[in-house]
């Protein structure tokens, strides 16, 4: 391989007395002519390599065939109508429909595919008024986190004149009079640096339909707290605006509220200590039901009397269980509660006094979502999926505990050809870590199977079974697919999460490396046949493990990864991750820990690194592409050997959300073609 020559600069920084060079600092400017030329030259090498692989076109054709099936979203009811999304198969973006009854002919309410010729304008959020008459919806362009919100009349299907700009990390919550909604936004950014500049000082506003954004009412902001963000949600009875105050990615937050039944009421600070995660489930007269992990690392539900809000007066309604508490909702005047047991879903129903009513029977060991609705509703919907079963929508009667299939997709494959098993393996320190392994039935454990190991390991995110057309193609190729539930995730509650944070982050990498070693020792695969993959925080995971144990892997696929652990806080929302990773400037101990595993800073000259394809996108304003740019440049300089080390840079794309189907299929075809070649697959 002949790689583009990447120029270096004499940039050095000093952290706690340690001098560190940053020779590729210039790649942090995505708009410079030098960076654009570098991107073009790298893509020329990468796509030239990928297009020379004979299997690539065949793989893309098969992926396109598999992808071409109807996909349904979860129906929700507002007023007298139902709303749900659907994709006919190969549409770049899902289409939002309205129906009068579940047996009626659906009518298109919003088709994002008409908003751009290449599918790069995506629907990034929707909120329907309580009476079902108005749709507030957010649009994102080219994968950016920035959103513009608009309002559509549901009856006519036409947009109103309202435009809400500079929204990020926010939904919209309607008042019960259907006349307006609450949302959060930032100040207008500099147009030239809006994809890189840091995001501080979020503000909570109320927008009244039919008025310009300049007249929106500021509900709450904190000029003295630049890192605080605000999420406003109206309770079902319409009486309270619940303000969830967040600070970065830390799973600890505050709860404030405003009584909407009183004109000019002030904001009341209900929970004022950053000591736990709090989510208001719903209001009940003058009290709140709140899900929290305070004194319960796997979660519980408490009742807080707003007249006697001191913690000593809180009452536990649903106590902590051995399983990890997930979403909590109200239906049929009962709690519908989701749990995780060893990373797969359970659903339980409780009375309002906390007594268990029943377990909801599910189709199998998989992942369940849904169960949304009003407190008095008996009808709801839920989705079920697994590694071998596509997302199926069920209609469920809470009162009778009866479920029926509402929409089941027809994917052109035989699910019975594959199987999934869950195993537990010991990590370096003896911790038992779960892992799902999916493969064709009849697999021979002879150490020759191409295997892809995927994980995330951070931010309290739980990896549960999911169906993927892309992964199905990998299984058809004879590949084994493994997902490890590493520490740092939320599978076993807050203690599991904290065991993979800050100074304990190395536990996450040890868990991943141990998963690879287990797959090899059990003869599923061998190092030359083992690929690793992860995105975002998972991209960091792959980068750290391939630099710590380069001989253990045959291929690496770090996607949109956080690769420069000394400067991640300098861009967009990166400062918010200091609660997860640490602060290199304020804490010498955290600096040392970050520097010790930072993928960019742990590449060593003359090392044989595994075949690598870094992937990123030019509009990624979550994890800015400079992370991947600098890592790829440093990897190409340090690497010794014949293994290709490439970077694939998507254009008019972002961190992943809203990516058009066509781009998703192209990227999957490139990924499988790359692995088929470097792993020597037949």
Active site residues: 536, 655
Q: Which of 173, 235, 244, 156 is nearest to 207 (CA)?
A: 173
Helix, strand, or coil here: 267?
Answer: strand
List the beta strands (DSSP E) in 491-554: 530-535
Contacts of 132 (CB under 8 A, 6+ apart): 77, 78, 79, 80, 81, 83, 154
- SS3 string, 175-231, reads CCCCCEEEEEECCCCCCCCCCCCCCCCCEEEEEECCCCHHHCEEEECCCCCCCEEEE
Q: Which of 273, 292, 291, 271 is nearest to 282 (CA)?
A: 291
Q: Which of 262, 238, 264 is nearest to 179 (CA)?
A: 238
Distances (CA, A) of 570 to 368, 540, 577, 583: 37, 17, 11, 11
How far apart are alpha carbons 194 and 141 in whole angstroms? 13
Distances (CA, A) of 661 to 119, 123, 385, 560, 616: 8, 13, 20, 18, 17
How far apart are alpha carbons 81 and 154 in whole angstroms? 10
Distances (CA, A) of 575 to 13, 118, 215, 540: 19, 33, 31, 16
How far apart are alpha carbons 387 and 179 in whole angstroms? 43
Place of tokens 């000093």: 14
Six token digits for residue 562:
């956080």
Q: Which of 452, 411, 673, 634 is nearest to 554 (CA)?
A: 452
| Burial (Cβ within 10 Å: 0-12, 13-18, ≥19) of residue 167 | buried
How far apart are alpha carbons 485 and 425 in whole angstroms? 11
Report, in this order, helix, strand and coil percent for the chain, each rounded to 5: 20, 35, 45
How far apart are alpha carbons 243 and 618 in whole angstroms? 34
Treating both helix axes as pointing N-terminal to C-terminal, what angle do 506-521 and 588-597 enclose, rounded to 10 degrees? Answer: 30
Six token digits for residue 137:
């919806």
Q: Which of 118, 115, 155 is nearest to 138 (CA)?
A: 115
Q: Are 532 and 557 in contact (CB under 8 A)?
A: yes
Six token digits for residue 91:
């549409």
Treating both helix axes as pointing N-terminal to C-terminal, what angle do 33-51 and 626-638 enclose, rounded to 10 degrees? Answer: 60
143: region left, alpha or beta (phi > 0 left; psi from -120 to 50 alpha): left
> What is the chain's Cα-based Rg?
25
**Total Cβ atoms within 10 A of residue 515:** 27
Burial call 533-548: b when 16+ CB within 10 Å, e when fewer: bbbbbbbbbbbbbbbb
Q: From the centroid of its chain, how far is CA 429? A: 29
Angle at 621 between CA 369 and CA 127, to 5 degrees: 40
Six token digits for residue 438:
């999916």
611-617/530-535 β-pairing:
unpaired
């Amino acid at each position: 391989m002949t790689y583009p020559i990447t120029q270096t600069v004499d940039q050095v920084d000093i952290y706690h007395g340690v001098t560190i060079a940053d020779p590729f600092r210039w790649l942090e400017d995505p708009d410079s002519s030098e960076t654009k030329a570098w991107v073009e030259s790298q893509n020329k090498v990468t796509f030239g390599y990928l297009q020379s692989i004979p299997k690539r076109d065949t793989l893309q054709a098969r992926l396109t065939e598999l992808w071409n099936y109807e996909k349904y979203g979860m129906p929700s009811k507002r007023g007298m109508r139902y709303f749900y999304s659907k994709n006919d198969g190969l549409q770049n973006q899902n289409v939002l429909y309205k129906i009068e009854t579940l047996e009626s002919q659906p009518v298109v309410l919003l088709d994002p595919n008409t908003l751009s010729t290449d599918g790069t304008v995506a629907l990034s959020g929707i909120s329907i008024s309580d009476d079902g008459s108005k749709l507030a919806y957010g649009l994102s362009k080219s994968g950016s986190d920035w959103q513009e919100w608009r309002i559509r009349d549901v009856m006519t299907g036409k947009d109103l004149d309202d435009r809400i700009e500079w929204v990020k990390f926010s939904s919209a919550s309607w008042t019960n009079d259907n006349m307006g909604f609450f949302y959060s936004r930032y100040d207008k950014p500099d147009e030239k640096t809006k994809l890189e500049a840091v995001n501080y000082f979020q503000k909570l506003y109320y927008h009244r339909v039919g008025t310009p954004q300049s007249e929106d009412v500021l509900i709450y902001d904190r000029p003295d707290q630049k890192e605080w963000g605000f999420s406003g949600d109206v309770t079902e009875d319409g009486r309270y605006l619940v303000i969830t105050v967040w600070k970065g990615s830390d799973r600890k937050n505050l709860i404030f509220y405003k009584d909407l039944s009183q004109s000019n009421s002030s904001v009341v600070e209900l929970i004022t200590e950053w000591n736990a995660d709090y989510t208001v489930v719903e209001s009940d007269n003058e009290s709140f039901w709140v899900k929290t992990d305070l004194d319960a690392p796997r979660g519980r539900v408490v009742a807080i009397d707003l007249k006697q809000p001191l913690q000593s007066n809180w009452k536990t309604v649903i106590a902590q269980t051995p399983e990890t508490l997930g979403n909590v909702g109200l239906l049929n005047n009962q709690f519908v509660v989701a749990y995780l047991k060893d990373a797969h879903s359970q659903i339980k129903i409780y009375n309002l006094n906390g007594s268990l009513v029943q377990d909801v029977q599910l189709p199998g060991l998989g992942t369940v979502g849904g169960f949304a609705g009003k407190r008095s509703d008996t009808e709801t919907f839920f989705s079920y999926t697994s590694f071998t079963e596509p997302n199926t929508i069920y209609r469920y009667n809470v009162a009778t505990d009866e479920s029926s299939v509402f929409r089941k997709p027809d994917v052109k494959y035989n699910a019975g050809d594959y199987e999934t098993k869950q195993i537990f393996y010991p990590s370096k320190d003896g911790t038992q870590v779960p892992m799902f392994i999916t493969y064709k039935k009849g697999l021979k454990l002879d150490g020759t199977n191409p295997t892809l190991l995927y994980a995330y390991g951070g931010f309290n995110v739980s990896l549960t079974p999911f169906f993927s057309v892309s992964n199905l193609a990998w299984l058809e190729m004879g590949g084994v697919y493994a997902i490890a539930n590493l520490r740092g995730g939320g599978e076993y509650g807050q203690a599991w999460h904290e065991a993979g944070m800050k100074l304990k982050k190395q536990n996450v990498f040890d868990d991943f490396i141990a998963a690879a070693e287990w797959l090899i020792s059990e003869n599923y695969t061998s190092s030359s046949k083992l690929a690793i993959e992860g995105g975002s925080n998972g991209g960091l995971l792959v980068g750290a493990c391939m630099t710590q144990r380069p001989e253990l892997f045959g291929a690496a696929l770090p996607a949109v990864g956080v690769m420069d652990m000394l400067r991640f806080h300098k861009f967009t929302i990166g400062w918010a991750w200091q609660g997860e990773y640490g602060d290199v400037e304020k804490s010498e101990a955290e600096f040392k820990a970050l520097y010790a595993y930072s993928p960019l800073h742990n590449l060593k000259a003359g090392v044989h690194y595994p075949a690598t394809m870094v992937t990123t996108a030019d509009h990624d304003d979550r994890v800015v592409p400079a992370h991947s740019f600098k890592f790829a440049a440093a990897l190409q300089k340090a690497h010794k050997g014949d293994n290709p080390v490439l970077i694939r840079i998507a254009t008019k794309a972002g961190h992943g959300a809203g990516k058009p189907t066509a781009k998703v299929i192209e990227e999957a075809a490139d990924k499988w073609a790359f692995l088929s070649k470097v792993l020597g697959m037949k």
